[in-house]
A and B are shown apart, each in its own frame.
Chain A
Amino acid sequence: MRYKEWIFLLIICAMGTGLANWVGYGISIQKSLPGLIILTTISVLAVVLVNIIPLKLPIIAYCSILGLLSAAPFSPIHTWVINSANAIEFAAPFTIVGSFAGLAIGDKLKQFMSQGWKYVIVGMVVMTGTFLGSCLWDSMTLNLTKLL
């Protein structure tokens, strides 16, 4: 995708986030605006970095790291970033992702049905096992870290 396309699509997403923030949580578009600008700008920076840094990292890794750096105590703009981002409710950017994701699997519904219950059961067991296993493992490593 061209940068132009990324920016355009990110603005569509920002509209979705602003809308969700307003309809779902009663926060006016005006109040959301600085946060939306920050989220969009950092996402654009992440796209630029993915293209110029030869490391093979997924784009969301850049998004997360840039978000973290911009809000870390050593960042000169961290109070502004944190306050603006706080106006955006946690789940607000997420509804439009759900819309896209739902639309994106619309052509697999029959396939899903024909997989039948077997794969659904296996899927649930694998998801539960992975989550529980991570809880157990992470509890252990977190406790060990505290001991050090």
Chain B
Amino acid sequence: MKANVEYMYKSLRTRFYSEKKIYLISLFFVLIADGIGEIKFHLGSGIIILFPVFYAIILGVLSGPQVSKIINTKEVQAASKLVIVGICPFIVKLGITAGANLDMVINAGPALLLHGFGNVLGLILGLPVAMLLGMRREAIGACSSLNREYHMAVINDVYGASSAESDGSLALYIVGGMIGAIYFGVMASFVAMLGWFTPQALGMASGVGAGIFMASASASLASIFPAHAAAITTMASTSNTIAGITGIYITMFIAIPLTEKFYKILLPLFQHHHILRTRGGRQNAL
């Protein structure tokens, strides 16, 4: 590291003193969440599995400055820097699974490299719904991707940070943070139960978006197909790694131009649609 880098804390000691509450409370949440363990609900022919990580997320939100105020706003910001640290060992673990099944990765090589184009269906389904609900330019930011950090950076870069598109992107980022992990886990298990897709393809599809989405989806899938757990986690982790690299370019050169085109086609259809359109435009964003 360069000598002129500005650090957030003066030293490790100051970091420890200002963040110790976060460490303690997080470890305490692990104790509670894993103490409760996985809970399975049978729903018709399907199962919904609740993972300890879901309880930990909920406990985290509830201790925040807007509910029980155990954690203040400064600590909230510190915690957001810790997410990436925590995700590292988890991704290493997935990488090890992939390495142990290297032949599978090599066999699926071309498919893995092309992974990411499937994202297009998200905007095709999402944009009409968003516009029907009265969103306009902000729908472009909201629907062009899953709006994780790197997607949001692209939208901010293309449209500017104070644009309607960036407002839409930020709104979806927040929604994703709140419900994304839980929704991805449940949704993946429902899609799996359709019986249309192989465990490999399901595993690969889990790799779209954030690491936390991938983990949740692949954990659910691995519980549904215990015999294919290694295949699922291998495909999920490698496709997630590749999506992290190609995702920026896919958003920039494919998803955004396509969303723009589709928006122009849809706009006349919704132009006179006043029923759901409250005061229109930006008020609906943030």
Binding site for B on A (CB under 8 A): 1-6, 8-10, 12-17, 19-20, 23-25, 38-40, 42-43, 46-47, 51, 57-61, 63-73, 75, 78, 81-82, 85, 88, 90-112, 115, 118-139, 141-142, 144-145, 148
Per-residue 0/1 for B8-41: is the Cβ within 8 Å of any A Cβ (1 yes, 0 no)? 1100100110000011011101110111010000
Which size bracket describes the interface of B in this complex?
35 or more
- The contact string, 1 if C-beta is below 8 Å from chain A, for chain B 228-257, is 010001000111110011000000000000
Interface pairs A-B: 9 shortest CB-CB = A106-B64, A102-B60, A67-B95, A133-B121, A71-B99, A24-B34, A137-B118, A134-B118, A130-B122
Once the chains are docked, how many angstroms separate the CA of A138 from the CA of B146?
18
Interface pair A131/B83, CB less than 8 Å apart: no
Instruction: List the B side residues contacting A90 at CB < 8 Å.
Output: 93, 219, 222, 229, 233
- Distance between Cα atoms of A132 and B183 in the complex (Å): 14
Do residues B91 and A142 form an inter-chain contact, with CB atoms below 8 A?
A: no
Assembled-state Cα–Cα distance A131/B109 (Å)? 20
B136 adjacent to chain A (CB < 8 Å): no
Does the CB pair B178–A99 fall under 8 Å?
A: no
Q: Check A141 against B27 for contact (C-beta < 8 Å).
A: no
User: CA–CA, A133 to B81, complex, Å?
Assistant: 31
Contact A122 B60 (CB under 8 A): no
Q: Are B184 and A5 in contact (CB under 8 A)?
A: no
B76 adjacent to A104 (CB under 8 Å): yes
Could you tell me the distance in whole angstroms from the C-beta of A102 to the nearest C-beta in chain B?
2
Say if the beta carbon of B48 comes within 8 Å of chain A: no
Tell yes or no: B90 within 8 A of A by CB. yes
Residue contact B37 to A118, C-beta cutoff 8 Å? no
What residue of chain B has the Cβ atom nearest to residue A136's Cβ?
B118
Cross-chain contact B211 with A60 (CB below 8 angstroms): yes
Which residues from A are CB-within-8-Å of B117? Answer: 137
Inter-chain CB contacts under 8 Å: number? 434
Contact status B86-A130, CB under 8 Å: no
Assess the A129–B27 pair: CB atoms within 8 A.
no
Of A91, A98, A136, the residue contacting B57 (CB under 8 A) is: A98
- B201 contacts A126, CB within 8 Å? no
Instruction: Kindly report which residue of chain B lies nearest to residue A109, judged by CB atoms.
Output: B66
Contacts of A136 in B (CB 8 A): 118, 121
Q: How far is the CB of B242 from chain A (nearest CB, A)?
A: 9
Contact partners of A93 in chain B: CB under 8 A: 86, 89-90, 93
Q: What are 19 A-to-B residue pairs whose CB atoms are below 8 Å?
A: A24-B35, A58-B244, A58-B245, A60-B91, A66-B95, A69-B99, A70-B96, A90-B233, A98-B33, A99-B25, A102-B59, A102-B60, A106-B65, A106-B66, A112-B174, A115-B175, A123-B176, A130-B121, A133-B118
Cβ contact within 8 Å between A135 and B196: yes
Docked CA distance A103–B89 (Å): 19
B31 contacts A19, C-beta separation under 8 Å: yes
Name, among A4, A13, A40, A81, the residue most crowded by chain B CB atoms within 10 Å (CB to CB). Answer: A13
Contacts of A61 in B (CB 8 A): 241, 244-245
B66 touches A133 (CB 8 A): no
Establish whether residues B121 and A105, one from each chain, have CB atoms under 8 Å apart when the complex forms: no
Looking across the interface, which residue of chain A has its beta carbon closest to that of B107? A145
A123–B59 Cα distance when bound, in Å, is 22
Question: Considering residues A71, A111, A130, A136, which has the most beta carbons from chain B within 10 angstroms of its beta carbon?
Answer: A130
CA distance A61 to B244 in the complex (A): 7
Would B30 and A119 count as touching, CB distance under 8 A?
no
A88 to B90, CA, bound (A): 10
Nearest to A73 among chain B residues (CB) is B102
B55-97 interface bits toward A, Cβ cutoff 8 Å, 1 = contact, 0 = none? 1111111111111000101011101111111111111111111
Besides A39-B93, A47-B88, A69-B99, 8 new A-B residue pairs in contact (Cβ under 8 A), listed by A number: A16-B30, A64-B95, A68-B98, A97-B215, A98-B53, A99-B59, A101-B60, A133-B119
